[in-house]
Structures are given as structure tokens and as C-alpha cells.
Amino acid sequence: MGNPRQLESNLRELIGKADKKILFDRSLCVCCYLCAIMCSLHLSHVISLRKAAINIHKNVIEGRVEITIDNARCDLCAGEILPFCVKYCPVSALKLE
């Protein structure tokens, strides 16, 4: 069983994040994949784009970037103030709102 104080803290944080979601501004994204790298570190403790809950898709022909987030796997980085993808994006293309 976990530490009761930590469990209570995590529960309060999840309740505070319950109505929030990650927003993406494609005009700012530079496709550095840092969001996916940090996501995989949080979820799996390894650097692996396949283990991230966030996926970046770059359409080179159209010059568009899209991201998808697997909401079943994304816990908005429980235990952290901000999700790692938002915190470590060097161009602020991701926001938690």
C-alpha cells in the first residue's frame, strides 16, 4: 500500500486536473518530439516514442503537424504539477487548460 499522504495528494491533484485537457498549437510545433520523449519517461521510465501516450504525425507534403493523445494511457502526469509534455515543450506548443 502506498503512503497515505502521497495518495491523498495525488487524489487532490487528479480532481483538480479532471476537467482539464492538453491543447496543441500546430503553428508553434517544431516536431522535436520532446513531448513524446518526456511522456514515455513518465509512463515507462524509458525513452521510447512507442511507449508515449502522445504521438506526433508530420505530413511533409502538406507541411502540417498533428498530435494525438491516447486518453486511456495519459494520466496528465499524475504526481506532477504540469504534464511533462507541456512542461518541457521548448516552444510552448502544448498547454493544459
The pLDDT confidence band at residue 20, using thresholds 50, 70 and 90, is: confident
pTM of this prediction? 0.78
Q: Which amino acid makes up residue 36? A: A
In Å, how far are 3, 33, 64, 89 from 60, measured between CA atoms? 48, 15, 7, 21
- Residue 79 has a pLDDT of 87
Considering only residues 45 and 62, tell me which one the structure prediction assigns the higher pLDDT.
45
Q: Nearest to residue 40, comparing CAs of 30, 28, 55?
A: 55
Other beta carbons less than 10 A from residue 61's beta carbon:
6
Q: What is the pLDDT of residue 77?
A: 93
Range of the domain at 91: 4-96
Alpha carbon distance 15, 4 (integer Å): 16
Identify the CATH number of the domain in which residue 50 sits.
3.30.70
- Read off the pLDDT band of 87 (50, 70, 90): very high
- Let me know: does 30 contact 94? Beta carbons within 8 Å: no
Residue 4 pLDDT level (bands cut at 50, 70, 90): low
Q: State whether the Cα torsion 38-42-48-50 is positive or negative.
A: negative
**Which range has the worst mean pLDDT, 33-37, 64-68, 83-87?**
64-68
Mean pLDDT, all residues of the chain: 86
Number of structural domains the chain divides into: 1
- The CA-based angle 42-52-43, given to 5 degrees, is 25
